[in-house]
Homo-oligomer: A and B are copies of this chain.
């Protein structure tokens, strides 16, 4: 951490700052020039908040040099983390596809989709039971009934299931019944929920918040890991920008950034990122090419009558084509050593 003092600050402010830092167990080094008074801070600065230093009188600007996340940090663990999802491995060179409908709607629908995505090669079944909808008047999911249907689909196909959690009060139940618990973009900084998820050991799929920086996203992973649950899978699903042609802007550079900064696996969700069915396959290929550890894809047997997000769902036939293309690409990349 580097702290620049204001031109009009004096010895008193400097001493006060040094004292403040020393109380936190940190060492201070002078790095001033003839023009600027600057100090460097040595030690574990993750315990202090930049804003707290900025509040001290005489302080002009504070720059963090050390990343504020620890357990999620690649510096603490250089090899890739591999998460075991009921036998399916994610991370460390695998490529895992999670597919299924936005919402579980009927027994028939989820069984049909589950069987179909399995045939195409998906390894994990996704399906929403509790749905975060912008409008209180929109379909909110089948809730517990949806969860039961998902479990039935798992029994029939053997595919592990991933579904979104909306409430801390469901953590215990989800931990028992679900293979991966998804935290949606809107809840990425629902710290109360994150803390509860830190107490279990079920793998967590942590979606990036719509306006979350990469650092904030990793800090949310850190919340879960600090609680004791190190099984965190990250999921890039587009960020909010000025461009409105796509629902969000898919940020594939973030995949590279996360893999450099952290040892956690990261997958990509092109369905939510764009909101447009016809963009999904090509962006899935791009995600594989950039080095993501897998994909999350919406598939519906009857997208036109889907109760949610039909516009971005693929039909089973289109998903099958996507899987063939992605598999060829992954094979080609591996054979050339990418």
Contacts and interface: CB of A to CB of B under 8 A. Distances in A.
Interface stretch (A86-94, A148-156, A275-283): A275-283
Contacts of A56: 304, 310
Q: How many copies does the complex hold?
A: 4
Interface in A136-190: 136-138, 166-169, 186-187, 189-190
A249 B235 CA distance: 17
A11 interface: no
A309 interface: yes
A55 interface: yes
A12 interface: no
Given A2-B2, A289-B282, A308 B52 contact: yes
A239 B244 contact: no
Given A4-B65, A40-B31, A191-B166, A254 B244 contact: no
Contact of A2 (B63, B223, B275, B310): B63
A253 B312 CA distance: 14
A99 to B, nearest CB: 17
Interface stretch (A105-113, A115-123, A199-207, A328-336): A328-336
B244 A241 contact: no
Contacts of A283: 252-253, 256, 290
Identify the interface centre among A253, A273, A282: most chain B CB within 10 Å of its CB. Answer: A253
B63 A136 contact: no
Contacts of A137: 46-47, 68, 226
A311 B51 contact: yes
Contact of A243 (B239, B273, B291): B239
Interface of A: 2, 4, 7, 16, 20, 27, 29, 31-36, 38, 40, 42-43, 46-47, 49, 51-52, 54-57, 61, 63, 65-66, 68, 75, 132-138, 166-169, 186-187, 189-192, 195, 210-211, 213-216, 219, 222-223, 226-227, 239-246, 249-254, 256-257, 260, 273-275, 277-279, 282-283, 285-291, 303-304, 306-313, 324-325, 328-329, 332-333, 335-336, 338
21 contacts: A16-B304, A29-B31, A29-B33, A35-B42, A51-B275, A51-B311, A52-B310, A57-B304, A61-B65, A68-B134, A134-B216, A136-B219, A166-B192, A187-B190, A211-B211, A239-B242, A243-B251, A245-B254, A253-B274, A324-B336, A329-B333
Name the 7 nearest CB pairs between A and B, nearest first: A55-B310, A33-B42, A211-B211, A332-B332, A31-B31, A186-B189, A31-B40
